[in-house]
């Protein structure tokens, strides 16, 4: 679950940072391309924005963890939910 949260935030940051409107309707449609550029140039720009968002995206995702992720219950919580043999 943590990886999914971090991936989502990291993918959202380049959309917001692409230098266009922060209007939620616009942002909800994804990366905004520059129509004066080729597909390859826009793809290169997208990858650069994703790379630039790695560290700040990680930091932002950590801020959301307490609100999104369930609290860890015990040191045995990582048993995959299958329980264990108590013998």
State whether residue 79 is helix, strand or coil: coil
Position 87 pLDDT exceeds 50: no
Contact by Cβ (8 Å): 10, 54: yes
Look up residue 33 and give its two tokens: 């391309």
Average pLDDT over residues 42-67: 88
Q: Mean pLDDT across the stretch 57-79?
A: 71
Rounded CA-CA distance 30/15 in Å is 6
pLDDT band, residue 55 (cuts 50/70/90): very high
Per-residue tokens: 71: 């609290």
Lowest mean pLDDT among 13-22, 61-70, 76-85: 76-85
């Amino acid at each position: 679950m943590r990886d999914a949260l971090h991936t989502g935030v990291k993918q959202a940051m380049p959309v917001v940072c692409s230098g266009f409107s922060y209007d939620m309707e616009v942002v909800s449609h994804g990366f905004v391309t520059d129509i004066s550029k080729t597909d390859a140039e826009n793809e290169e720009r997208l990858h650069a924005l994703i790379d630039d968002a790695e560290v700040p995206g990680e930091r932002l995702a950590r801020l959301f963890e307490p609100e999104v992720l369930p609290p860890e219950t015990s040191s045995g919580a990582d048993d995959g939910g299958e329980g264990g043999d108590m013998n």
